[in-house]
Structure 1
Amino acid sequence: MHDMHAGQRCLHTFTQLLPVSGCVFYRIAGQLEPHDFLLQQMRADMHQRYLTQFRQVDPLQPRNCQRTGHSVVPLRMGMNAQDEAANRRYDDFLRGYGVVDVVEVLAFEQGRPIAGISLLRGAELGLFAPHELGQLQALQGMFELAVSARPSRPESASLTEREWQVAQLLRDGCSNKEIARQLDVGLPTVKTHLINLFRKLEVGNRTELVTSLFL
């Protein structure tokens, strides 16, 4: 719960100082995979499509941002490090929802990214200006302090990206059939993921699993 409270405070601070069309706070697992998303002013259907279809072509996913050597990474910088075909696909996705610019702000602990904030802008707000990127750089230190003191959950860092997706759908109340449909996998695969989650988190049922990861 500490993480979500910290995330809410950081989102509030960022959006009070800079106008945005939507934003997302998330934690970053040991394999540099984002999880525990907290959405603000952002369409849930856009986020779901991102997770299931476009995450892998996101030039601002944590591993790509880390390669830039920067803690505040605008969309254009991320795209410069990715191939053109992936950039076109991702740009089409963003523009389908009216998004014209994105900036990623990462918080680090001992050189590893541990949390991030995505700030999105629609056409009504336009691109982030250079002086606004400077403001975000100043806020990044506050963001890092806010999330670095969070209690660690070493058991969660060992989860795979697909296990996080299953856990998040469980948190949202999805049945096994709904999870299978959302992730486009078979029911036996869902059951295998659940068995692995129960084993890794040392829990006995779905409620304990959700409580262990998200509460």
Structure 2
Amino acid sequence: MPDTWRLPSVNDHSPTDEFGQQCLRTLTHFVPASLAAFYRIDEHLQACDFQLLGMQPPMHAAYLDHYRHLDPLQPVVCIDSALPVVPLSEGMRRQEASRNREYQGFLQRHSVVDVVEIIVRADSRPVAGISLLRDTALGPFRAHELADLLPLHGLLQLAAARVETTQAVALQRLTPRERQIALLLREGASNKVLARELELGLPTIKTHLLNLFRKVGVGSRTELVARLFL
């Protein structure tokens, strides 16, 4: 299987990134897939921060631009099903036939014949999902393969809880002012915005940022946000 290709929105050394790569390696080892994707589920129950295995960027870009809204295995649908492992047939049962036909046309253009979605929770909150896709060479997922994913799902949930705990501990180590800065950085605040919001001079802001980067063990704003929040 091809090496992991990932979108450049997640820091290569963040706990979530490492967790995602491990999820993809583990699941595709025990249940073969032609293509796979790991993603984070945000507070709006949207998939984001994708890591892809075997899937080429044009296919994923087409999905995001034109077919995501038709996907019968979107996180909100899978969560509503209350199933830990959701096959494509279950997702399609929950939406209109016309939407299913359009989405299946997209899958067929890429020789995909079946998909299964795994939703991972931490403290009962959905935090991540994994898509496994099969092409015509591998054929549809079999009943015993779906059953094999259930114990793996349990292990992934235990691992996800540990990742969430690691990030919570990192946040707790920060002072109230550092947490305030980190939260503003998550919203994309510039140094000027930080200075205005905190009523501090730019040199002081730069000193705070250097100290914060050093404490968390990162070298940039992007890495800081990834380490603490992704």
Q: How high is the TM-score relative to the length of structure 2?
A: 0.69
Cα 1:92–1:201, aligned 2, differ >3 Å: closer, same or farther? same
**Residue 107 (structure 2) aligned to one of 94, 114, 119:** 94
Secondary structure of 1:149's counterpart equals: helix
Distance in 2 between the 1:110 and 1:97 partners? 36
Contact 1:198 1:204 in 2 (8 A): no
Greater gyration radius: 2
Deviations 1:124-169 (A, max 9, x none): 00000000000011110111112222225xxxxxxxxxxxxxxxxx
The AA in structure 2 aligned to 1:200 is E
Go from structure 1 to structure 2 and tell me whether the alpha carbon gap of 1:80 and 1:111 turns closer, same or farther (over 3 Å shift).
same
Cα shift at 1:201: 4.0
Which residue of 62, 75, 88 corresponds with 1:62? Answer: 75
* Distance across 2 between alignment mates of 1:72 and 1:90: 20
**Within 5 Å, which residues of 2 pair with 1:158-177?**
none
Judging changes above 3 Å, is the alpha-carbon distance between structure 1 residues 199 and 126 closer, same or farther for their aligned structure 2 residues?
A: closer
Q: Structure 1 runs of 4+ off > 2 angstroms?
A: 109-112, 197-205, 207-215
Structure 2: runs of 5 or more not aligned: 1-13, 169-183, 193-218
8 Å CA contact 2:38–2:130 kept in 1: the answer is: yes
What residue identity is the alignment partner of 2:110?
A: Y
2:173 equivalent in structure 1: none
1:47 and 2:60 aligned: yes
Partner of 1:210: 222
Q: Within 2, Cα distance between the matches of 1:86 and 1:203?
A: 41
TM-score by length of 1: 0.74
Shift of 1:111: 2.6
Secondary structure of the 1:32 match is coil
Report the equivalent of 1:78: 91
Picking from 105, 109, 113, the partner of 2:126 is 113
Contact 1:203 1:209 in 2 (8 A): no
Q: Distance in 1 between matches of 2:225 and 2:98?
A: 36
Which of these residues, 9, 17, 30, is aligned with residue 4 of structure 1? 17
Number of matched residues? 172
Q: Matches of 2:18 and 2:186 in 1, distance apart?
A: 28
Aligned twin of 1:138: 151
Identity %: 40
Gaps of 5+ in 1: 153-196
**Partner AA of 1:129 in structure 2:** R
